[in-house]
Amino acid sequence: MSAGLILRYVIIAIIYIILFRIVRIMYLDLKGIRSDDERKDITYALEVIDVPGSIGIARGSLYPVHKLTSIGRKADNSITLNDPYVSSYHAQIYIENDGLFIKDLNSTNGTIKNGIRIKGVERLQSGDVIEIGRTSFKVVE
């Protein structure tokens, strides 16, 4: 075998390895399977329990909460709510010391937790209901 033929086989093998990895990543993404590193970051989620039809999100949708999740009307938020009752940067939900917290960002209409308007930072637990604008979320673990 010549060196040129061996080089061709090596290049073909590398291409197959790359294609296999791409297909594997796509499969895992479609199945919703995350690596162990990704699972460590996502321990909580927000489930949409009430939403007006005009916002463009569906009841029952789940939004994973990462170390810092921002909610607001602007497109660069983690969760974008196209609702005139939601401020551009309305609230932040974050994980700190294995706890989940919410902070209102001085929004015009406020952030409601379990029927009470929050002031400053509040700790969240599974089952808490958060209202931002006309959308209600339930914290799930």
Residue segments in the chain with a per-residue pLDDT below the cut of 50: 39, 41
pLDDT of 5 reads 86
pLDDT of 136 reads 94
The pTM of this model reads: 0.67
pLDDT of 30 reads 65
pLDDT of 26 reads 77
Q: Which of 42, 43, 52, 44 is nearest to 132 (CA)?
A: 52
**Domain-wise residue ranges, the chain:** 1-34, 45-140
pLDDT of 54 reads 73
Each residue's pLDDT tens digit, 93-103: 999 888 899 99
pLDDT of 39 reads 47
pLDDT of 42 reads 54
CATH architecture of the domain covering 45-140: Sandwich (2.60)
Q: Sheet harboring 111-113: ordered strands across? A: 62-65, 44-50, 135-140, 129-132, 111-113, 116-117
